[in-house]
Amino acid sequence: MKHRIERDSLGEVEVPNDAYWGATTQRSVDNFRISGLVFQRRFIRALGVVKLACAEANLELGVLSEEKAKAVIQAASEVMEGKLDSHFPVDIFQTGSGTHTNMNVNEVIANRAIEILGGEKGSKAVHPNDCVNLSQSSNDVIPTAMHVACAEAVEHDLLPALEKLNGALADKAAEFKGIVKTGRTHLMDATPLTLGGEFSTYATQIGKGIDRLKEASKRLLELPIGGTAVGTGINTPDGFSALVVKNISHITGIRFRENPDKGEGIAAHDTIVELSGVLKTVAVSLTKIANDIRWMASGPTAGLGEITIPANEPGSSIMPGKVNPTQAEAVLMACAQVFGNDTTITFAGAGGNFELNTMKPVMAYNILQSIEILANSVDSFTDKCLLGIASNTDRIKKILDQNLMLVTALAPKIGYDKAAEIAKEAHASSRSLREVALEKTSLSIDALDKLLDPRKML
């Protein structure tokens, strides 16, 4: 591989000739060979958005020449569009401010801008610090990109996935509203409800999760850009912050606003911690729903078998004909990852001292991963499992007819103790509740039939 020489404040560094990054990025690549994890497309796009918006502001405020600004704007647009994604090799586990990633994007944009102007990469004719990072600091760029990336990911990926799931659950609730089945508490038989009622409860859970997500996302709209190093805005021209936020809003179509206390947006990331907590709550709801569905689909002969799920692929490498609840299992694993990510984000959110949180990169990576895998697993679960669920009505009726907890309807007439005695004897003698109750109470056949009608217990 051919190399060129790039320079930074520490001296000369060899950089691959075809790479757009420069000396600082190369030092990070050499010094932080830790995980192989790099930032997601959403975050790289957000960095492109921020650099584009800053270049436009610097041009308008007259602190960057038109020639250089236009080249930076074009290069930043290419970063935003994903055309230069292969040039962001910096490991997630790096400096806690994310400075290496900020310099990575500064160097890539600078070298691409030099190329656009007809110069040679590494010449610094467009300088990564003096031009691309003008009026900025890693300390305000990285948290601004975190908020932009999360806001876009929630609005364009996760909320649509959850809203589709919510609609599908509501449709199933309507489809199954007339199917009476055995309820269960503690995994044991309980009084009846409808299959539609169960799915309606799931829809309510997801609906509340959507509301929580929308509420938490409001605080993502506050951006600390313009705060530079410690929130004071040193080295920024008057009006810079407001102009950048306006530009970001125009680029993304999301109405961002200035954080009135930019130091708060740099020193702490409570908004990201809050969002992660909401994602965890949504994951808890999804875990409940996915677990219930695989329980109801268990069988087909030795389990509950109350519903059937689509047979998407063979379920076993050794047992022919086996169908497993794979989509539910994928959701459960995604949720497990979200729970772990939330722990990391919580710890990282507490990982600041004085004017700077120093665990920004791991927070950004984990929150975006949580959003991405929740959105993708929910989409897959909805399309490849939920929409194809059907009720096994005969099986549901058979289980319901054997449900000893129907005796609950007799308790107001004959008392709790007598009702318990009837249920126990019916179970021990393998007889019906109706038969035993007819022997042990003065209730008539007609009265028992009315009291033990599952539909009247709804």
The closest of 260, 58, 261, 224 to 148, measured between CA atoms, is 224
- Dihedral (CA of 86, 87, 88, 91) sign: positive
Residue where the block lists tokens 């799920």: 309
Residues whose CB is less than 8 angstroms from the CB of residue 438 and which lie 6 or more positions away in sequence, other chains included? 445, 448
Q: Which amino acid belongs to residue 104?
A: N
Phi, psi of 8 (to 5 degrees): -135, -165
Helix axes 66-81, 41-60, angle to 10 degrees: 160
The closest of 183, 204, 178 to 193, measured between CA atoms, is 183
Q: How far is CA 242 from the centre of its chain?
A: 29
Rounded Cα distance, 244 and 337, in Å: 35
Active site residue 123: no
The count of C-alpha atoms lying within 13 angstroms of the C-alpha of 12, restricted to the half-sphere facing its C-beta, is 5
The closest of 95, 94, 126 to 111, measured between CA atoms, is 126
* 290: number of Cβ within 10 Å: 26
| C-alpha distances in Å from residue 423, one per residue of 413, 437, 453 | 15, 9, 16
The closest of 64, 77, 148, 146 to 109, measured between CA atoms, is 77
Catalytic residue from among 186, 317, 430, 442: 186
Q: Which amino acid belongs to residue 33?
A: R
Catalytic residue from among 35, 316, 429, 444: 316
**Burial class of 190 by CB neighbour count within 10 A (0 to 12, 13 to 18, 19+):** middle
| Tokens (6 digits) for 430 | 């393998």
- Dihedral (CA of 333, 334, 340, 343) sign: negative
Helix axes 41-60, 99-116, angle to 10 degrees: 60
Asked if residue 192 has a cis previous peptide bond (ω within 30° of 0), the answer is no
Active site residue 269: no
Rounded Cα distance, 70 and 250, in Å: 18
Residue pair 28/94 in contact by the 8 Å Cβ criterion? yes
Give the active site residues: 186, 316
